[in-house]
């Protein structure tokens, strides 16, 4: 298999296809961004983590990627929120764009190549609408412009919906001026108190759909490789994009349409109206952003993610295990970093690395099957711990084992980097952050845990083993595990028993729990 060969599920054709970019070695990718009027929620995290993995993987394969992700900063929701707060809509939106950047950075999402905003691209939007009108696909009523879907015979090609199946007025009131109730706005005439721009049709602002057609064409031309977003955008947003872009330019073509699944709670789609809605900030008050990221990646990007605090606890434990293993490895390897070790590695390490590399390559090439990659991480991590255990108590240098650790560590860190799970913080810092959040979830302070450890030690000294066991169990029940080591007793986060799940009862049938190497 060629190193760059991999398959993507194309929503347009409803099947997996071999990825072949328009220009060899280069990829143009557009992903629909947020409407910036509030803090970003877990559904946004789901989408942008999924496409960040794709972005990272394409770069890993050696592609030069032009990744464009827009901000909608002109929209009905933004205007309503600004009016409620007595703020300027563009200023309000700009503030939430900054908040979004902070959330994405915490989730280890790389910045796109370009992040255009609607308010900065009015000339491109107006030019495209003008071209659509000139080509006979749109009409002007008063100072509004509508797209005529009757002029677009391929309308519905992405979603599979027929024009007669579209229930006009389901989301908005039907405008009697439309020639067809399903026609949609390209330009909206100005209303009092709303931001507006000059246009050939009068003061106004763009409709929702036209912005992405205009900005994707501006940054990537009318023909590019990948267009992505959540499944809720397939209709009407992406369907309308296809119609608009084709109407403006007959050569408009997106090679691959990619869509990520929803986030659900109790198998019900999250929404503000149902009250089962969590912002990224809400979750990251109690869980490390890397725990949220690995939780989201534990399900294939096209499948729904069923949110639960139990699964986040498991994800948090998984991250702790990974970083504790890496830290232990770094401590042992520290004296040898400056050396030029050229020893061979053990046959077990060699086999482990070869299989892990193969699993990573095969799984990612199969439409970015991250759950399988995460499951395959178990073996090299276990092998690292096996080697570490073999070195305990040995003062003499063990070249074969040391070099094996170097090779295993490198392979694991390379894959974690591609997955966006390799933090810019040190392993020690990440572990401390995970412990701090475990304390918050438990409602304890570090001093209170240490006091419990002292009380347990006193009980054991007095042979009050029932009391000792009770202290340990009470802490375990709230996510604090005590471990007896030669130096004394230490603690680390754990999954409370009530939130533990059997292997396989998780987000994805291919996900496997990582063992906890430090449980005693």
Report the pLDDT value the prediction gives residue 500, as an integer from 0 to 100. Answer: 84
Report helix, strand or coil for 178. coil
Is the pTM value of this prediction over 0.85?
yes
Report the pLDDT value the prediction gives residue 342, as an integer from 0 to 100. Answer: 66
Is residue 430 within 8 Å of residue 290, measured between CB atoms? yes
pLDDT in tens, 292-327: 999 999 999 999 999 999 999 999 999 999 999 999
In whole angstroms, what is the distance from residue 151 CA to residue 426 CA? 58
User: What is the pLDDT of the chain when averaged over all its residues?
Assistant: 92
Q: Which tokens belong to 94? A: 């700009």
Residue 520 pLDDT grade (very low, low, confident, very high; cuts 50, 70, 90): very low
The domain 7-284 belongs to what CATH superfamily?
Answer: HUPs (3.40.50.620)
Q: Which tokens belong to 207? A: 């409709």
Report the pLDDT value the prediction gives residue 511, as an integer from 0 to 100. Answer: 38
Report the pLDDT value the prediction gives residue 242, as an integer from 0 to 100. Answer: 98
CATH 1.10.730, domain 316-428, yes or no: yes
pLDDT in tens, 118-172: 999 999 999 999 999 999 999 999 999 999 999 999 999 999 987 666 554 444 5
Report the pLDDT value the prediction gives residue 509, as an integer from 0 to 100. Answer: 38
Residue of 101, 111, 123, 30 lying closest to 70 (CA atoms): 30
pLDDT in tens, 347-402: 999 999 999 999 999 999 999 999 999 999 999 999 999 999 999 877 777 889 99
In whole angstroms, what is the distance from residue 254 CA to residue 29 CA? 9
Report helix, strand or coil for 505. coil
Q: Domain locations in the chain?
A: 7-284, 316-428, 430-499
Residue of 403, 359, 411 lying closest to 380 (CA atoms): 411
Report the pLDDT value the prediction gives residue 394, as an integer from 0 to 100. Answer: 77
Is residue 400 within 8 Å of residue 343, measured between CB atoms? yes
Report the pLDDT value the prediction gives residue 490, as an integer from 0 to 100. Answer: 96
Q: Which tokens belong to 490? A: 């230490």
Is residue 370 within 8 Å of residue 53, measured between CB atoms? yes
Judged against a pLDDT cut of 50, whether residue 508 lies above it is answered with no
Judged against a pLDDT cut of 50, whether residue 57 lies above it is answered with yes
pLDDT in tens, 241-284: 999 999 999 999 999 999 999 999 877 777 766 777 799 999 99
Residue 505 pLDDT grade (very low, low, confident, very high; cuts 50, 70, 90): very low
Cβ atoms < 10 Å from Cβ of 487: 6
Strands 138-141, 64-69: pairing is: unpaired
Judged by phi (left if over 0) then psi (alpha if -120 to 50, else beta), residue 138 lies in beta
In whole angstroms, what is the distance from residue 404 CA to residue 383 CA? 10
Judged against a pLDDT cut of 50, whether residue 427 lies above it is answered with yes
Ramachandran angles phi, psi of 490, nearest 5°? -120, 170
Report helix, strand or coil for 302. coil
């Amino acid at each position: 298999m060629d190193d760059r060969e991999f398959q993507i599920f194309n929503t347009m054709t409803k099947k997996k296809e071999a990825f072949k970019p328009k220009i060899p070695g280069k990829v143009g990718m557009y992903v629909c961004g947020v409407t910036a009027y509030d803090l970003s929620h877990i559904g946004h995290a789901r989408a942008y983590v999924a496409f960040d993995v794709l972005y990272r993987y394409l770069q890993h394969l050696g592609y030069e990627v032009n990744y464009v992700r827009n901000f909608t900063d002109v929209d009905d929701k933004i205007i309503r929120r600004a009016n409620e707060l007595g703020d300027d809509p563009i200023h309000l939106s700009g503030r939430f764009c900054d908040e979004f950047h902070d959330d994405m950075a915490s989730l280890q999402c790389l910045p796109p190549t370009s992040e255009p905003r609607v308010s900065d691209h009015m000339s491109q939007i107006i030019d495209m609408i003008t071209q659509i009108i000139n080509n006979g696909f749109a009409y002007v009523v008063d100072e509004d412009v509508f797209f005529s879907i009757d002029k677009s015979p391929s309308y519905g090609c992405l979603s599979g919906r027929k024009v007669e199946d579209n229930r006009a007025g389901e989301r908005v009131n039907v405008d009697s001026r439309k020639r067809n109730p399903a026609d949609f706005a390209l330009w909206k005439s100005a209303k009092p108190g709303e931001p507006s721009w000059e246009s050939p049709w009068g003061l106004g602002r763009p409709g929702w759909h036209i912005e992405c057609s205009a900005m994707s064409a501006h940054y990537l031309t009318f023909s590019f490789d990948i267009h992505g977003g959540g499944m809720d955008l397939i209709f009407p947003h992406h369907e309308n994009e296809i119609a608009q872009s084709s109407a403006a330019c007959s050569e408009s073509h997106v090679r691959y349409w990619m869509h990520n699944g929803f986030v659900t709670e109790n198998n019900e789609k999250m929404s503000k109206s149902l009250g089962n809605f969590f912002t990224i900030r809400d979750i990251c008050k109690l869980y490390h952003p890397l725990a949220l990221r690995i939780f989201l990646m534990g399900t294939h990007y096209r499948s729904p993610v069923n949110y639960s605090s139990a699964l986040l606890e498991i994800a948090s434990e998984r991250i702790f295990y990974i970083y504790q293993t890496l830290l232990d490895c770094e401590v042992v390897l520290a004296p040898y970093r400056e050396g030029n070790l050229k020893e061979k590695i053990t046959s077990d390490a060699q086999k482990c690395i070869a299989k892990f590399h193969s699993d990573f390559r095969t799984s990612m090439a199969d439409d970015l099957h991250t759950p399988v990659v995460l499951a395959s991480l178990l073996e090299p991590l276990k092998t690292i711990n096996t080697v570490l255990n073999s070195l305990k108590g040995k003062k003499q240098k063990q070249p074969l084992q040391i070099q094996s650790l170097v090779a295993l560590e490198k392979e694991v860190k390379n894959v974690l980097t591609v997955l966006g799970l390799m933090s810019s913080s040190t392993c020690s810092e990440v572990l401390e952050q995970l412990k701090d959040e475990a304390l918050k979830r438990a409602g304890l302070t570090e001093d209170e845990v240490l006091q419990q450890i002292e009380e347990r030690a006193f009980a054991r000294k007095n042979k009050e083993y029932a009391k000792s066991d009770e202290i340990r169990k009470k802490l375990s029940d709230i996510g604090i595990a005590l471990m007896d080591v030669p130096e004394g007793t230490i603690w680390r986060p754990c999954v409370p028993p009530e939130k533990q799940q059997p292997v396989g009862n998780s987000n994805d049938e291919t996900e496997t729990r990582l063992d906890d190497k430090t449980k005693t």
